[in-house]
């Protein structure tokens, strides 16, 4: 039984998820020799991968799968969504806040799902053929549509960790979907900024930014509609790249099949370029789509962040919140545009 | 010539420092095999450590040093402060913002200094005797007092990276001081939160938090005045620990010699406990002190964050800004209190 709670920082108002269950060996990085964790009750690390085809029972009952004729919870799938076995948030719980003086806590209410992107153990997402990549995006969209029905959830965020340096604890390609009773800070500050820009100008800031950026062209990686790829003006890490619809669209859960198809093509192309430029780096993906309420639909514009993890967050970033990025987005886009990725699976 | 600029994210308003100079081999993590960096103009990594005693010329002219009889820029020091040789911010530059549509840039104006904490190469900060640790804090205080005189700077932040996993690129123990023309986001959100609490209650939130926390006691590591150590209620990482004066004090640059002495004792003690609990982990230190203007002096309370780096920031933290902390601060404080660090240098 995993128990977590959402705590509010009394100074900044930011939230953290505190896990109250016993420490798991995967919780700390490889190589951390902890007197504390040694003394804790730990379980054995599993020898075999629970995400591989044929081990469906261990990964858990499926919430969704792409199947062509096979039976639920058996082999014969290409994408499979299950509940996270060590969920950070649980669907059991209430919305009440417990206040004790300056300290505020609530249940770790939410959903935490895993999208197993391929039945094959050693197959990175970006190596999938475009039609298989499409099914991963289809799974994201379908789950978002379902999670939106739960009135307790304010929003959901899709993310992916590829490689140890990006926080991945499993090698088998997977992404994760987390639904929250609040709009998490990283999305909330975008929503607020976008709403302010809409208020001042009547425009979507993402559309304005993209239009000005494409005109200039120096941060453009791919400008073929309907899905474009750019390196953002204020990129936080080297080769940060955003994929988004060229026309205004607030929600990924409303994206058409054709948009997902364009997205699959651009994502595969961008990842091949990033893999070349940075030597197959660890990376994160983050999908930001408008909160479920719909209030931000005019202001917000869905986008997928590709975040290569080739630099380490240091005390500088912790202490200031101002990242130092050693590669300008103009330079990154120039390099990415210059690559001509070729290969049997492109 | 290193050239950087501060860019404002058009959506969130957050800043990043973009480095426009050629890539340096230290800019990427060890093990990143980059087609991009290979094709860049890179300099050789130095074989010998420029921070070691006897190589004062390579580290650069000293801005400050603790010396007893020796000459400036020669051996015979215990702490030495120099300008960063690859500064993220430079003291040459103006405050003007350059606005181009939705994009806003300004010079990478500021100061970026290095505090070499010991003349000995392989001596971590926490292994220094208390009186030597005191001199490091003295150097921080003295430099903050000086940087405050430059009317272009809004604030300065001290930070330290220990170990590769914490972003350190040099093994020789050092901390860094960065002065900014703006109040960086991570400090700004604390200042704003503290000002709001002061407005509502007439109290300092840090004092209220500490008073309530010490009464409860479950997150107390050390409650001996004048400097206490606690694990914060909304700890972001396992064993995050804050050191701060028990009585209200906004600015580290005004701390008395006696406060620095107490701070040295508590810091050494806390680090010995953390080293035991987590097996000498990589860690960051961050010192937050009130901005130079003085406007936040009633609301803000200086504190030193100890941030062990035993977990990896994943797409979850990037995408949500809500960290998942697998160890509750109550558990961390219980473990830290239980350790009885002993050793010849304590």
Which among A26, A79, A27 is positioned nearest to A51, based on CA atoms? A79
> How close is the nearest chain A Cα to the Cα of B71, in Å?
32
Q: What is the pLDDT of residue B29?
A: 81
Final residue belonging to a domain, choices B153, B176, B195: B153
Q: Concatenated DSSP letters for B80-145?
A: EEEE-SS-SSBSS----EEEETTEEEEE-BSEEEEEE--SSTT--GGGS-HHHHHHHHHHHHHHHH
Q: What is the pLDDT of residue A41?
A: 42
Is residue A295 in a domain? yes
Lowest-confidence segment of A203-207, A211-215, B42-46, B205-209 by average pLDDT: B42-46
Q: What is the pLDDT of residue B24?
A: 77
Is A162 in the same domain as A131? yes
> How close is the nearest chain A Cα to the Cα of B262, in Å?
23
Q: What is the pLDDT of residue B60?
A: 95
Closest-CA residue of B relative to A112 is: B316
Is B34 strand, coil or helix?
coil
Number of domains composing chain B: 2
Closest-CA residue of B relative to A322 is: B16
User: Positive or negative, the Cα torsion across B214, B311, B279, B169?
Assistant: negative
User: Positive or negative, the Cα torsion across A275, A278, A284, A287?
Assistant: negative
Q: Which residues of B touch A236 (CB under 8 A)?
A: 16
Is B204 in the same domain as B310? yes
Interface check for B276 against chain A (CB to CB < 8 A): the answer is yes
Interface check for B235 against chain A (CB to CB < 8 A): the answer is yes
Is B195 in the same domain as B84? no
Query: Which of A12, A102, A190 lies at the smallest CB-CB distance from B208?
Result: A102
What is the pLDDT confidence band of residue B190, given thresholds at 50, 70 and 90?
A: very high
Final residue belonging to a domain, choices A129, A160, A184: A184
Is A177 in the same domain as A296? no
Query: Which of A15, A29, A329 lies at the smallest CB-CB distance from B311?
Result: A29
Query: Which of A15, A33, A194 lies at the smallest CB-CB distance from B322?
Result: A15
Q: Which parts of chain A sit beneath pLDDT 50?
A: 38-44, 344-346
DSSP conformational letter for A343: -
Is B61 in the same domain as B131? yes
Query: B30 pLDDT exceeds 90?
Result: no
Interface check for B199 against chain A (CB to CB < 8 A): the answer is no
Q: What is the pLDDT of residue A95?
A: 86
Range of the domain at A248: 186-338
CATH number of the domain residue A156 falls in: 3.30.428.10
Instruction: Report how far Cα B207 is from the mean position of its chain's Cα atoms.
Output: 22
Q: Cβ of A11 and B238 within 8 Å?
A: no
Is residue B177 in a domain? no
Is A173 in the same domain as A249? no
Is residue A170 in a domain? yes
Location of structure tokens 């997150």: B219
Q: What are phi and psi of B185, to 5 degrees?
A: -50, -45
What is the pLDDT confidence band of residue B339, given thresholds at 50, 70 and 90?
A: confident
What is the pLDDT confidence band of residue B25, given thresholds at 50, 70 and 90?
A: confident
Is B231 in the same domain as B135? no
Is A109 in the same domain as A242? no
Q: Cβ of B23 and A281 within 8 Å?
A: no
Size of interface A-B (CB pairs under 8 A): 329
Is A70 in the same domain as A97? yes
Q: Cβ of B28 and A205 within 8 Å?
A: no
Query: Which of A88, A184, A305 lies at the smallest CB-CB distance from B321?
Result: A184
Query: Which of A184, A315, A329 lies at the smallest CB-CB distance from B320?
Result: A184
Q: In chain A, where do the E strands start and end?
A: 4-8, 15-19, 62-67, 77-83, 97-100, 103-107, 111-116, 155-162, 174-180, 220-222, 227-230, 241-245, 283-288, 303-308, 324-325
Q: Which residues of A touch B276 (CB under 8 A)?
A: 35
Interface check for B97 against chain A (CB to CB < 8 A): the answer is no
Query: B299 pLDDT exceeds 90?
Result: yes
What tokens were used for B262?
């107490």
Dump pLDDT digits (tens) for B86-114: 888 888 888 899 999 999 999 999 999 99
Q: Cβ of B29 and A312 within 8 Å?
A: yes
Is residue B125 in a domain? yes
Query: Which of A4, A193, A312 lies at the smallest CB-CB distance from B13?
Result: A193
Q: What is the pLDDT of residue B342?
A: 56
Q: Cβ of B34 and A315 within 8 Å?
A: no
Lowest-confidence segment of A2-6, A303-307, B61-65, B326-330 by average pLDDT: A2-6
Is residue A345 in a domain? no
Final residue belonging to a domain, choices B128, B153, B178: B153
Closest-CA residue of A relative to B161 is: A315
Burial level of B21, CB count in 10 A (0-12/13-18/19+)? Answer: middle
Query: Which of A10, A313, A325 lies at the smallest CB-CB distance from B16?
Result: A325
Q: What is the pLDDT of residue A223?
A: 94
Is residue A121 in a domain? yes
Dump pLDDT digits (tens) for B165-181: 999 989 999 999 999 99
Q: Where are the alpha helices (DSSP H) in chain B?
A: 35-38, 56-59, 130-147, 185-201, 205-216, 257-278, 315-320, 329-338
User: Positive or negative, the Cα torsion across A89, A36, A309, A139?
Assistant: negative
Q: What is the pLDDT of residue B44?
A: 47
Closest-CA residue of B relative to A289 is: B319
Q: What is the pLDDT of residue A1?
A: 52
Q: What is the pLDDT of residue A23?
A: 79
Q: Which 16-35 residues of chain A touch chain B by CB within 8 A? A: 16-20, 23-24, 27-29, 32-35
Is A271 in the same domain as A170? no
Q: What is the pLDDT of residue A3?
A: 87
Is residue A346 in a domain? no
A213 vs B254, residue with greater confidence? B254
Query: Which of B19, B167, B328 lies at the smallest CB-CB distance from A312?
Result: B167
Interface check for B211 against chain A (CB to CB < 8 A): the answer is no
Q: What is the pLDDT of residue B94?
A: 85
> How close is the nearest chain A Cα to the Cα of B265, in Å?
22
Q: What is the pLDDT of residue B21?
A: 85
Alpha-carbon distance B141 to B251, whole Å?
Answer: 9
Q: Cβ of B284 and A314 within 8 Å?
A: yes
Is A149 in the same domain as A45? yes
Is A118 in the same domain as A199? no
């Amino acid at each position: 039984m995993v128990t977590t709670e959402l705590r509010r920082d009394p100074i900044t108002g930011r939230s953290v998820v505190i896990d109250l269950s016993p420490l798991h060996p995967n919780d700390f990085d490889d190589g951390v020799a902890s007197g504390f964790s040694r003394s804790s009750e730990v379980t054995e690390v599993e020898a075999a991968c629970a995400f591989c085809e044929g081990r469906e029972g261990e990964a858990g009952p499926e919430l969704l799968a792409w199947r062509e004729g096979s039976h639920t919870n058996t082999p014969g799938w290409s994408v499979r969504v299950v509940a996270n076995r060590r969920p950070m948030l649980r669907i059991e719980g209430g919305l009440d806040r417990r206040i004790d003086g300056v300290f505020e806590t609530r249940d770790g209410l939410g959903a935490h799902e895993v999208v197993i992107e391929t039945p094959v153990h050693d197959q990175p997402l970006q190596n999938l053929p475009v039609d298989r990549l499409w099914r991963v995006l289809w799974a994201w969209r379908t789950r978002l549509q379902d999670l939106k029905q739960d009135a307790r959830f304010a929003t959901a965020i899709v993310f992916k960790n590829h490689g140890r340096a990006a926080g991945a604890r499993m090698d088998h390609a997977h992404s994760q979907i987390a639904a929250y009773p609040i709009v998490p800070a990283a999305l909330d500050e975008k929503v607020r900024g976008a709403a302010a820009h809409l208020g001042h100008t009547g425009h979507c800031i993402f559309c304005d930014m993209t239009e000005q950026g494409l005109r200039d062209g120096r941060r453009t990686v791919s400008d073929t509609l309907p899905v474009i790829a750019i390196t953002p003006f204020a990129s936080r890490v080297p080769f940060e790249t955003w994929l988004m619809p060229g026309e205004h669209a607030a929600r990924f859960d409303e994206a058409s099949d054709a948009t997902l198809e364009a997205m699959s093509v651009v994502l595969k192309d961008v990842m091949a370029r990033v893999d070349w430029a940075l030597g197959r780096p660890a990376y994160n993906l983050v999908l930001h789509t408008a909160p479920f309420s719909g209030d931000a639909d005019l202001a917000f514009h869905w986008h997928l962040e590709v975040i290569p993890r080739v630099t380490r967050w240091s005390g500088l970033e912790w202490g200031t919140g101002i990242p130092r990025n050693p590669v300008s987005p103009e330079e990154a886009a120039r390099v990415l545009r210059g690559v001509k990725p070729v290969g049997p699976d492109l």
